[in-house]
Structure 1
């Protein structure tokens, strides 16, 4: 962990986004005018051991040197106890926004396969280092203006693993969760392959292969493994590639090496293995051009950040059993709420289905209802916890209470 001088090396330009982890900032590394991203996580509810574990796990990024992985710079803790992970800035945005801007205009197969190959090569490098990613999704795939695809947010995934924060994974963006995770079986390298298959389908169809209005219905669809056929303009080989990645039985699902050995990907593997990595993004001469004034990374203080910190108290274990995890979460909620608040909140989530998975919390009807009888910060926190409770109860019922 670094001292206060580490923070002074970076000038905050603007907020790039918010998530269950905290905030992401665009910053300028003042000594060399390089643009970087700082992912900042609240750790106020973590024990000293958990903080040390999170920092240690972040250091694994140093081994991940690959042209298709966002470069890690350093990790440090601020005076307010916020964990900061510094990495390169990808100037082309993320894959989620890229696909959203397509406005239903399908991509050419050549571009799909080239982008997917770069992702697969990045994840294979991670697997070769005996590490699982655990949080692959379009929001964690970044693009550069020269067309390079980069796997990012790897440090966040490692930190969430270190803090055993199962809650953020399940409630945040559950579209990419593999069947074995829903069934409480161990996460493996092939779980990352499933998530890549979901991303490949999105590249091809511009929508999720599995979608639903509630977490329960989404889990059922994932377990069945049924999705709509891709457009007829695409080759049978591309359809077969998606099918292989989205094989429900992980024992029959191919490894990444198997995937990369397929004839359909060979020319793209050869092309990307031969190309040199891109250069870091620099601040343009004459100013940052970032559209925001500089500032301190300690300045911000908002409901979302505090709610994210509060949710970090949810200690659920993968492999702990859906019923046991639901019981533990119910106990935590009852410690925070009156009996009347608990019943009212529980009934709202049951009646509204918990809101659409991954829905922006500002538009989530559950949060809006909760704000009618509790403050904004508490509404965010309780909504996340209560939605997860109902989800775990439903999954337990699906599996006969296991």
Structure 2
């Protein structure tokens, strides 16, 4: 068995393993025998295995097999390669209503199955909702699961994750199906609001808030979301909605739920458009006539966005062969204002990976160069104008992430997911809600409720102007117009770099150690341009197809190596 990667749970270590006999991949829970030396510990694991083995449902992590040796117990489970909702939430902070409906429907489907079998999960939290390659949710981790008992026979043990515990569990009244429903309400709140409803800095205070059902509903929530959360987070278990009543609530019945989410939604707000009545009609007609949905002829936005991953993957194959090693990327770190430079460049965001199958077609006819090119090919003396980030400041411990573009526009992506930018030499304010609705105001006619956010943008803009130097020089034919202002969709901090993704399908990677930068963008003629800003702050721009053909120097090759790792990580290529 070949292992790759490792993460820790409370009782075990989990590995990604590949069976070399058939190349099948698993998530393997490895429990040291030393952890189950006592009878009650052994019984706990045995019960978990026997319970999980009995479950077969499309939204429950599949149990494969298990065995043990003198050192460990090994439990082989379905691999969910896109990790969990906890990872998605950490990267996104908040999700949109359609996404939350998408995930909640699948969670409820799994819960109804468990409850009908007389099983309580008792530890519903973001980290136990796993997401597979196809963006399907799987409920997992049955270490605390138990059979449903009568009220008198219910276990009075307090178990689960503090922020998601129901009042009756804290009051030692026992755990029933209603307690799982309470946790589901906490999950919904967390995904929409960015933090659990009863979270405080002190655990005793958190427990007090739960017992008193003391929490706030942000005005940013839709009325139907507020109503549903309120109907679920009821102190008396008998007053809470049932799972069927939740699905029948207007939050689900009167709004759009996507049939599928793009993989890019793991790190950025997806473009989700409700199907039109005409499209629904023709889809049903095609299904009735031909037994399946008609195929779309035109390229989808996700397929178009994935072109970049094909191009970069092909380019690096020519440049570095197959020497890449996998590195787990970290999430956002909350820090004080950072005096570091940031350059951003235009690149397509990572998206659905199925188009990787056609990667070879992108390079058909391209002459492969030696993998050990000693230097870069000639760079472009001038490039078409594009916008990149020249300065940035991470103030996410209080407000959000601020940045200045090369056309002097300034924006802040706030922690709760809204975005406000100052454009046209700070004469215009652009505002974007978490549901992707855009608004534009003259700066002297800004609504009162946006004044506080604008004040924060002004503070960050002044800080960057007074304390930070430009991130480098880029030789463009002309400067982009001030009115042109791409929107920052997501920023991610890894161990080695800052990554910024924009709505014009641009990606920028800033390396911490030497302040070098990689900017990838799609030009006006739909070709791709790579700009490398060296540690001397000098820029070099190359068409991607040129680098694909001739290779590049080791210095640039190392950075491209890392960019491809990022792309592979976020598309799970």
- Which residue matches 1:67? 58
Choose the corresponding residue for 1:250, options 202, 217, 237: 237
Match of 2:49 in 1: 58
- Whether 2:326 is the aligned partner of 1:291: answer yes
- After superposition, what is the alpha-carbon deviation per residue over 1:60-112, rounded to whole angstroms, capped at 9, x for unaligned? 223322221111112333312x333221111112111111111x4x4321111
Q: 2:130 aligned to 124, 128, 142, which one? A: 142
Counterpart pick for 2:19 among 24, 29, 33: 29
1:79 to 66, 70, 91: 70
User: Which of 78, 98, 107 does residue 119 from structure 1 map onto?
Assistant: 107
Residues 107-142 of structure 1, C-alpha deviations (whole Å, 9 max, x = no match): 321111111111111111111111000111111111
The residue that corresponds to 1:205 in the other structure is 193
The reply on whether 1:175 has 2:163 as its aligned counterpart is yes
Structure 1 residue 128 and structure 2 residue 116: aligned?
yes
Instruction: After TM superposition, give the deviation of residue 248 of structure 1 in Å.
Output: 1.5
Q: SS state of the match for residue 32, structure 1?
A: coil
In 2, distance between residues paired with 1:165 and 1:288? 54
Mapped contact 2:61–2:78 kept (Cα < 8 A): yes
Q: CA deviation at 1:158?
A: 3.7
Q: 1:263 Cα shift?
A: 4.1
In 1, are the aligned partners of 2:26 and 2:77 still within 8 Å (CA)?
yes
Give the alignment of 1:91-106 within 5 angstroms.
91-102=81-92, 104=93, 106=94
Q: What is the alpha-carbon distance in structure 1 between the residues aligned to residue 145 and residue 163 of structure 2?
A: 19
Give, in angstroms, the shift of residue 270 of structure 1. 11
Q: Note if 1:12 corresponds to 2:47.
A: no
State the 1:147 CA deviation.
2.2
Query: Are 1:185 and 2:153 an aligned pair?
Result: no
Q: Calculate the aligned-residue CA RMSD, in Å.
A: 3.1
- Match of 1:58, SS? helix
**1:226 aligns to what?**
214
SS in 2 for 1:153: coil
* Aligned residues of 2:224 and 2:251 also touching (Cα < 8 A): yes
- Tell me if the contact between 1:55 and 1:75 (Cα under 8 Å) persists in the aligned partners: no
- Determine if contact 1:21/1:40 at 8 Å carries over to the other structure: no
Question: Secondary structure at 1:76's aligned position in 2?
Answer: strand
The two structures have a TM-score, normalised by structure 2, of 0.41
Q: 1:128 to 1:228 in 2, by over 3 A?
A: same
CA contact (8 A) 1:23 1:41 kept: yes
Question: Shift in Å at residue 55 of structure 1?
Answer: 1.6
d(CA) in 2 for partners of 1:289 and 1:29? 21
Change (3 A) 1:39 1:231: farther
Report the counterpart of residue 236 of structure 1 in structure 2.
Answer: 223
Is the contact between residue 65 and residue 76 of structure 2 (CA under 8 Å) also seen in structure 1? yes
- Distance in 1 of aligned mates of 2:258 and 2:112: 15
Give the equivalent residue in structure 2 for 1:214: 202
* Residues 58, 159 of structure 1: 8 Å contact kept: no
Q: 1:43 to 1:214 in 2, by over 3 A?
A: farther
TM score, norm. by length of structure 1: 0.58
- Check the 8 A contact 1:260/1:269 in 2, yes or no: no
Higher relative contact order (CA 8 A, sep 6+): 1
What does 1:351-362 correspond to in 2, within 5 Å? none
Q: For residues 351-379 of structure 1, what are the alpha-carbon distances to aligned partners after superposition, in whole Å with 9 as ceiling and x for unaligned?
A: xxxxxxxxxxxxxxxxxxxxxxxxxxxxx
Which structure carries more helix by proportion?
1
Contact 1:75-1:85 within 8 A present in 2 as well? yes
> 2:121·2:144 contact (CA, 8 Å) conserved in 1?
yes
Q: For residues 267-312 of structure 1, give each alpha carbon's deviation from its aligned partner in whole angstroms, at most 9, with x where no partner exists.
A: 879969xxxxxxxxxxxxx9998738xxxxxxxxxxxxxxxxxxxx
Preserved contact between residue 59 and residue 75 of structure 1 (Cα < 8 Å): no
Structure 1 residues 271 and 259: alpha-carbon distance in aligned structure 2, compared to 1, 3 A threshold: same
SS at match of 2:238: coil
Q: Cα 1:291–1:68, aligned 2, differ >3 Å: closer, same or farther?
A: same
Aligned length: 259
Task: Give per-residue Cα distances to partners, 1:165-224, cap 9 Å, x unaligned.
Answer: 968x46xx3111111111011111111111111110011101111112222111001111
Query: How far off its partner does 1:22 sit?
Result: 2.1
The structure that is strand-richer by fraction is: 2
Q: Name whichever of 19-28 and 39-48 sits farther off.
A: 39-48
